[in-house]
Amino acid sequence: MLNQIVLVGRLAKEVEVKELESGKKVSNVVLAVPRPFKNEEGMYDTDFIECVLWDGIAENTSNYCHKGDIIGVKGRIQTRNIENEDGTKNKIQEVIAEKVTFLSSKKAGE
Instruction: Give me the DSSP letters along 37-94.
Output: EE-TTS-EEEEEEEEEEEHHHHHHHHHH--TT-EEEEEEEEEEEEEE-TTS-EEEEEE
| pLDDT tens, position by position, 68-100 | 999 999 999 999 999 988 989 999 999 999 999
**18-75: pLDDT as tens digits:** 999 999 999 999 999 999 999 999 999 999 999 999 999 999 999 999 999 999 999 9
* Whole-angstrom distance, CA of residue 91 vs CA of residue 81: 4
User: Where exactly are the structural domains of the chain?
Assistant: 5-104
CATH of domain 5-104: 2.40.50.140
